[in-house]
Chain A
Amino acid sequence: MEWKRKHLLGLEELSKQEIQLILETATSFKEVSFRDIKKVPALRGKTVVTLFFEASTRTRVSFELAAKRLSADTLNIAINTSSTSKGETLLDTAKNIEAMNVDAMVVRHGLSGSPFILAQGLNCSVINAGDGCREHPTQALLDMFTLKEKFGHLEGLKIALVGDILHSRVARSNIWGLTKLGAQVTVCGPATLMPRGIEQMGVGVDYDLKRVLKNSDAVIALRLQKERQEAKFLPSLREYSRLFGINQDKLSEGSSNLIVMHPGPTNRGVELSAEVADGKQSVILEQVTNGVAVRMAVLYLVLGTKEEVVI
């Protein structure tokens, strides 16, 4: 199949075939990062801007390296949201940057739906690097890529998403992507952080972590923002950890082939014990490695270059 989209705004609107195409393209790009000379000329002459309205290290760096390994020029802009609240709208900011002739804008913003505002108002490609609580498509794609590497397929896999489902864009993108590719998804977390109607997205809900681990091939632990406790969603982090933190004891309920994933950065001792985060079932660093390959694939596809993939 041929890639036809100019933007990547989320996995909700992608077909199974489109997701598979990204994952296949990423497979061919992964090897580039293991070369002595880590560069291919696929996007030579293109300009990729990362525009981040929320703090991020991992995702931004991953996009930047992906663009550089495809020979694109990159520019990173981090904007403190308070300066945009002084009159200049998100679209104004982006239009000013676009006026300097950029080809793709990788955007992270705290507002759900903000990539749609940009995609409607800009001529360049827009790649969503996380919008509010809505989607973080490249994170889900790299999770799926990692799962596919480990298990050889996604169809029929049982995947658990554990933690703050309510505020998690990683959870939403993974739910869209994994269910489209035939995996069975269960969400697990405190009832106060479980959004209403989540089962209508085609997932199971279970509040018993041990049971969930027993029935899963992989578990994706989600980052818990400290603010959630301040906003009274949780009695205490200690209590959270007791019920939903994954330690070796709880992990031993599941199969020894069960893998543990986390989008990072990990709150050690909250979502995962150090033992689990660094243990042999953890694939957290492989996820980070795969992130570059997946983002290379996304940039390559949306920038619509017609040249053969040179590897």
Chain B
Amino acid sequence: MGLVIKNAIIVNNDKIWDRPQDILCEDGKIVKIVSSINAGGHETVDAKGKKVLPGLIDIHVHLRQPGREDKETIETGSKAAVKGGFTTIMCMPNTNPVIDNPMTVEYIMHEANRVGLCHVYPIGSITKAQKDEELTDMAELKAAGCIAFSDDGKSVLNSRLFRLAMEYAKMLDVLIIEHCQDPLLTSGGVMNEGAVSTRVGLKGDPGIAETVTVGRDIEIARYLDARVHLAHMSLKRSCELIRWAKSQGVKVTAEACPHHFSLTDEACASFDTSTKVNPPLRAREDVQAIKEAIADGTIDCIVTDHAPHTKEDKEVGFDGAPFGLIGLETSLGLVIKELVKPEIINLPKMVDKMSTAPAKVIGLKSKGIIKEGFDADITIIDENKEWTVAKEGFVSKSKNSPFIGWKLSGQVECTICNGKVVYKV
């Protein structure tokens, strides 16, 4: 038995279709898109009045399993993902143990399969135990299922090692994702360095900690003619450097997170530790610049950097609290509220940033577009529906969101992964 989506107004990255279509999904694939399909014998989903998008893809998520199952598990993280409209997520390797060996990769994929809600691709670490000393066995990790590598949570500070990683990854045709931050410059900073950190007496993390690393990575990528993907860009200056690099033909791609275009560092003055995130919330001009960079293509993907933390871990004061906030369940609503409604981007461009481009960056060739022959990963949304973020509403195990109480636009009505309904509002 297949699945038929009736009356689908399809939004791909190139356009919104004029007329509603019926979509037939069988064996995990989209097999037919025509104006009318006899649904006899198939499960049906009526999308009348809604928009039908290729399943959202988030290439930057922390699932915490193995190691910190009190914060999140593959199961609760998958639930949060499909509730947020994501059918594919990639999880970062800063778990315990670190994803630097095939066994951990297999464990995560096995558990994700058992849960069976969305596709989960583990990201391998660039260096063993993320210690910035030796490269991981990337070929073996690739064979186990890793299609990207990152030491996310920190930079590969050793520039020579980073160069070697990029060369090796180029040979294997896997993506290097870099967390750009020079820890010597950050030097224990807990929020953006600027007038607000000065006023509230919190230790500042200067933007140059990010931009000098962005500059370094662009230079290494240019020199090697290798690909590099820069994670969670937060600064105006980073966007300028990337824009320039792209104009020179450097193979750099970049991502940004909803919190970096929805909040400024002024939010940290509340001392609410859910505003403590790495890289930190920045100044107004940076927020504006990130929006522009998303609109003009400098930033390729929108990701959440979903980083769950328990109440106990976060409730220790601003200096001591871990960095990170949860984002899977609020991402789409923030994108529509902050970017689509103010007409910074339109719906097809949103689809590009949240599905088509991430699929392309990561090399998932049958995802990111609603098209016959592509994977049956589909997200149905009502982009005009407003809802209020409530603490009790989160299905993530952690509730560390600075957006609690915010009114967002755009709700996920139904998420379909592998041709099966995995979430319905």
A residues near B, CB below 8 A? 12, 85, 89-91, 109-114, 116-117, 131-135, 169, 172, 195-198, 200-201
Residues of chain B with a CB closer than 8 A to A12's CB: 199
CA distance A4 to B404 in the complex (A): 30
Q: A90-B316, A113-B317, A117-B271 are in contact. List 8 more A-B contacts (CB 8 A).
A: A85-B320, A117-B315, A134-B200, A195-B197, A196-B206, A197-B194, A197-B195, A201-B199
Say whether, besides A89-B315, A91-B315, A132-B319, A113 and B202 are in contact (CB < 8 Å): yes
Contact A195 B204 (CB under 8 A): yes
Contact A196 B198 (CB under 8 A): yes
CA distance A135 to B193 in the complex (A): 18
A to B CB contacts below 8 Å, 27 in the list: A12-B199, A110-B319, A111-B318, A111-B319, A112-B201, A112-B202, A112-B319, A113-B201, A113-B318, A116-B271, A117-B271, A117-B315, A132-B202, A133-B201, A133-B203, A134-B202, A169-B201, A195-B197, A196-B193, A196-B197, A196-B198, A196-B206, A197-B194, A197-B195, A197-B197, A197-B199, A200-B195
Among residues of B, the one whose C-beta sits closest to the C-beta of A84 is B316
B residues near A, CB below 8 A? 193-204, 206, 271, 312, 315-320
Contact A135 B201 (CB under 8 A): yes
Contact A133 B202 (CB under 8 A): yes
A171 to chain B, nearest CB (A): 10
Contact B199 A117 (CB under 8 A): no
Among residues of B, the one whose C-beta sits closest to the C-beta of A199 is B195
Residues of chain B with a CB closer than 8 A to A201's CB: 195, 198-199
Say whether, besides A112-B201, A134-B200, A90 and B317 are in contact (CB < 8 Å): yes
Residues of chain A with a CB closer than 8 A to B194's CB: 196-197
A177 to chain B, nearest CB (A): 14
Contact B318 A112 (CB under 8 A): yes
B187 to chain A, nearest CB (A): 9
Say whether, besides A117-B271, A196-B193, A111 and B200 are in contact (CB < 8 Å): no
CA distance A12 to B195 in the complex (A): 14
CA distance A112 to B271 in the complex (A): 8
Contact B317 A134 (CB under 8 A): no
A311 to chain B, nearest CB (A): 36
Say whether, besides A113-B317, A114-B317, A196 and B204 are in contact (CB < 8 Å): yes
Among residues of B, the one whose C-beta sits closest to the C-beta of A91 is B315
CA distance A239 to B271 in the complex (A): 36
Residues of chain B with a CB closer than 8 A to A195's CB: 197-198, 204
Say whether, besides A197-B194, A200-B195, A132 and B316 are in contact (CB < 8 Å): no
Residues of chain A with a CB closer than 8 A to B199's CB: 12, 172, 197, 200-201
CA distance A109 to B271 in the complex (A): 14
Residues of chain B with a CB closer than 8 A to A117's CB: 271, 315, 317
Among residues of B, the one whose C-beta sits closest to the C-beta of A194 is B198
Among residues of B, the one whose C-beta sits closest to the C-beta of A88 is B316
Contact B200 A112 (CB under 8 A): yes
CA distance A116 to B273 in the complex (A): 12
B283 to chain A, nearest CB (A): 10
CA distance A201 to B195 in the complex (A): 8
Residues of chain B with a CB closer than 8 A to A113's CB: 200-202, 271, 317-318
Residues of chain A with a CB closer than 8 A to B206's CB: 196
Contact A89 B316 (CB under 8 A): yes
**Within the complex, which residue of A91, A132, A197 is in contact with B201, where a contact is CB–CB below 8 Å?**
A132
Residues of chain A with a CB closer than 8 A to B201's CB: 112-113, 131-135, 169, 172
A233 to chain B, nearest CB (A): 11
Among residues of A, the one whose C-beta sits closest to the C-beta of B271 is A113
A90 to chain B, nearest CB (A): 6
CA distance A114 to B320 in the complex (A): 11
Residues of chain A with a CB closer than 8 A to B193's CB: 196
B323 to chain A, nearest CB (A): 16
Among residues of A, the one whose C-beta sits closest to the C-beta of B268 is A113
A128 to chain B, nearest CB (A): 11
CA distance A243 to B173 in the complex (A): 57
A22 to chain B, nearest CB (A): 21
CA distance A270 to B318 in the complex (A): 32
CA distance A90 to B194 in the complex (A): 27
Residues of chain B with a CB closer than 8 A to A111's CB: 317-320
CA distance A12 to B271 in the complex (A): 15
A166 to chain B, nearest CB (A): 8
CA distance A85 to B320 in the complex (A): 9
CA distance A62 to B93 in the complex (A): 52
